[in-house]
């Protein structure tokens, strides 16, 4: 059986491809989202209890290999997967979509993490579309004079910035929809993680069209494990390691 550490569109696509290929697969979700989009095939939800718990789970469930298809900013589970697979002597592949690349007309600024992004915001804009996700919003709580439209899937926990509006949405987003949102709220800055992929790229296209700056949080460093960028490559690898 193949374990996919999921929570991304790519993880769902890979699960569907493995099911279609007749390969036994279990997808694992953290359980952060109240109503997650469920992948095809078996699904388990919730943490494993650190790398030790994950290594145990791999042994008990007779897993032959693991694909870490988690979000590029999910640092802990990726570290845990590397440690647990080494411990269990199992092959591990990282499936990670490439980050976004600047195109002509873009006005991008980079921050090393959420705290650095919060520091940079006052110099770049005063009405912000914040799309960094529900977790880590405390980093922006001190922004007293900035208005933020916080878009995330589920309601975030406090502390939150004094001046904000919540927009609960999970996409998919379109260029037309993003332009409407920008215009309706007088947005003058977009803040995002470098998540990559097509699912949330419309905001970058919309920013270019309106000449708005985008502040992008760089990806964290990941452990050095074998990696691929596409579901097709991960499928080939999984077929070869299915046992």
Considering only 47-55, 114-122, 139-147, 225-233, which stretch makes contact with ligand NAP by CB under 6 A? 47-55
- Does residue 32 bind ligand NAP (CB under 6 A)? yes
Which residue from 3, 63, 71, 150 is in contact with ligand NAP, where contact means CB under 6 A?
71
Of 153 and 179, which has the nearer Cβ to ligand NAP?
153
How far apart CA 160 and CA 136 sit, in angstroms, is 10
- Does residue 73 bind ligand NAP (CB under 6 A)? yes
Which residue from 17, 25, 30, 231 is in contact with ligand NAP, where contact means CB under 6 A?
30
Eight-state DSSP code of residue 72? T
To which residue do tokens 């296209």 refer?
205
Which residue from 58, 74, 111, 143 is in contact with ligand NAP, where contact means CB under 6 A?
74
- The alpha helices in 63-112, defined as continuous H runs, are 75-88
Q: What are the strands of the beta sheet with 92-95, ordered from one edge?
A: 42-45, 25-29, 2-5, 65-68, 92-95, 227-228
- Does residue 243 bind ligand NAP (CB under 6 A)? no
Contact status, residue 183 vs residue 172, Cβ threshold 8 Å:
no
* 72 Rama class: left (phi>0) / alpha (psi -120 to 50) / beta: alpha
- The alpha helices in the chain, defined as continuous H runs, are 9-20, 50-60, 75-88, 114-120, 175-185, 202-210, 231-241
- Does residue 70 bind ligand NAP (CB under 6 A)? yes
Footprint (CB under 6 A) of ligand NAP, residues 175-194: 193
Which residue from 48, 100, 108, 173 is in contact with ligand NAP, where contact means CB under 6 A?
48
Q: Which residues bind ligand NAP (CB under 6 A)?
A: 5-8, 28-30, 32, 47-50, 53-54, 70-71, 73-77, 80, 133, 135, 193
């Amino acid at each position: 059986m193949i374990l996919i550490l999921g929570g991304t569109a790519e993880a769902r696509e890979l699960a569907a491809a493995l099911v279609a290929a007749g390969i036994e697969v279990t997808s694992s979700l953290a359980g952060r989202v109240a109503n997650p989009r469920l992948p095809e095939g078996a699904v388990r939800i919730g943490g494993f209890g650190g790398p030790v718990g994950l290594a145990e789970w791999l042994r008990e469930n007779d897993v032959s290999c693991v694909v870490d298809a988690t979000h590029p900013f999910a640092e802990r589970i990726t570290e845990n997967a590397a440690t647990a697979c080494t411990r269990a002597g199992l092959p591990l592949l990282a499936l990670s979509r490439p980050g976004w690349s600047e195109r002509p007309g873009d006005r991008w600024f980079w921050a090393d993490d959420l705290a650095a992004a919060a520091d940079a915001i006052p110099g770049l804009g005063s009405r912000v579309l914040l799309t960094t996700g529900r977790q880590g919003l405390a980093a922006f709580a001190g922004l007293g004079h900035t208005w933020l439209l916080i878009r995330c899937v589920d309601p975030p926990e406090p502390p939150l910035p004094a001046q904000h509006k919540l927009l609960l949405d999970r996409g998919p987003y379109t260029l037309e929809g993003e332009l409407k949102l920008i215009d309706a709220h007088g947005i003058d800055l977009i803040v995002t993680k470098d998540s990559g992929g097509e699912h949330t790229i419309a905001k970058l296209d919309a920013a270019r069209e309106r000449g708005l700056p985008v502040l992008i949080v760089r990806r964290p460093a990941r452990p050095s494990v074998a990696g691929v960028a596409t579901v097709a490559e991960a499928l080939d690898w999984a077929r070869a390691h299915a046992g």
